């Protein structure tokens, strides 16, 4: 008896569907004794990662405000204005700039942990979707971020492979979103660090004033990079959710 759903394969002896059509779809808890590779929902981790990335963007907005205040008050100090009001604003600018820097570090660490956990989850799902569709071993999901030189392109390669494996169409979609995010991330981690260093080494009011446009540029790049990272997480999580709920593809009979 042929399967009543796909009409291509023999139904199971005790049923009306073939083994392809009775395979579970969607994200379900793995049964006892199931293999390590089993679809697990990335939605919870994805939401957590997006929340932290949006928080990081909000902290960058706060940092930009502190930068602007510092730029304004150091400009006044550079031209010799040392009144009480200016000194009060200078103290406030120092406090806000220090608070913004600390907040950026803390949020970045939290984002890094949750983002990598989410990336590990979607990589495992992608190995179920396409076991042979990955150029880098699973360990590079973590190691790719910390190994010198490799960190410049390995994480992008991992994300691209996951993206392709999670595609629901006949062929993978374009990688423009990934490319923009990765370019901004590299800029924030390379040029951004150089620009922050210029601010740290400034001593006089004039030097601090001159370094603030660079700080604002670095914080702005970091802000946009966080938003594009959130977009990547949202899109890839949605792709995997849709693919999982479609169920296994039914092979076309020859």
Residue 195 lies in a domain: yes
Residue 104 lies in a domain: no
User: Tens digit of pLDDT for each residue in 142-185?
Assistant: 999 999 999 999 999 999 999 999 998 767 778 999 999 999 99
pLDDT of res. 205:
87
What Rg do the C-alpha atoms of the chain give, in angstroms? 25
Residue 147 lies in a domain: yes
Residue 181 lies in a domain: yes
Contact at 8 Å (CB) between 57 and 226?
A: yes
pLDDT of res. 142:
96
pLDDT of res. 34:
45
User: Is the overall model pTM greater than 0.75, yes or no?
Assistant: yes
Residue 150 lies in a domain: yes
pLDDT of res. 252:
38
Which residues of the chain fall short of a pLDDT of 70?
A: 1-37, 170, 247-254
Residue 165 lies in a domain: yes
What span, in angstroms and rounded, lies between the C-alpha atoms of 95 and 133?
50
Residue 99 lies in a domain: no
Domain span at residue 185 reads 43-58+110-244
What span, in angstroms and rounded, lies between the C-alpha atoms of 54 and 228?
10
Tokens of 129: 């979707």
**How many domains does the chain contain in total?**
1
Tokens of 33: 């004794």
Tokens of 238: 């949605």
pLDDT of res. 104:
95
154-166 and 176-189 helices, crossing angle to 10°:
160
pLDDT of res. 20:
47
DSSP SS3 for 143: helix
What span, in angstroms and rounded, lies between the C-alpha atoms of 85 and 81?
10
Residue 95 lies in a domain: no
């Amino acid at each position: 008896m042929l399967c009543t759903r796909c009409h291509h394969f023999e139904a199971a002896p005790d049923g009306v569907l073939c083994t392809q059509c009775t395979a579970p779809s969607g994200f379900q808890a793995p049964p006892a004794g199931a293999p390590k590779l089993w679809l697990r929902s990335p939605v919870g981790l994805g939401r957590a990662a997006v929340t932290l990335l949006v928080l990081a963007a909000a902290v960058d907005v706060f940092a930009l405000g502190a930068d602007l205040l510092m730029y304004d008050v150091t400009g006044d100090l550079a031209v010799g204005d040392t009144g009480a009001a200016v000194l009060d604003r200078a103290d406030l600018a120092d406090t806000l700039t220090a608070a913004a820097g600390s907040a950026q570090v803390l949020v970045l660490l939290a984002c890094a942990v949750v983002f990598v956990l989410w990336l590990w989850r979607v990589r495992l799902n992608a190995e179920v979707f396409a076991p042979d569709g990955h150029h880098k071993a699973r360990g590079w999901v973590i190691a790719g971020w910390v190994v010198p030189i490799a960190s410049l392109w390995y994480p992008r390669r991992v994300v691209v492979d996951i993206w392709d494996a999670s595609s629901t169409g006949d062929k993978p979609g374009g990688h423009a979103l990934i490319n923009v995010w990765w370019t901004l991330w590299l800029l924030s981690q390379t040029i951004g660090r150089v620009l922050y260093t210029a601010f740290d080494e400034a001593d006089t009011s004039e030097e601090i004033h001159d370094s603030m446009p660079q700080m604002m540029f670095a914080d702005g790049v970091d802000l946009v990079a966080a938003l594009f990272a959130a977009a990547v997480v949202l899109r890839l999580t949605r792709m995997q959710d849709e693919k999982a709920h479609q169920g296994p593809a039914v092979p076309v009979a020859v």
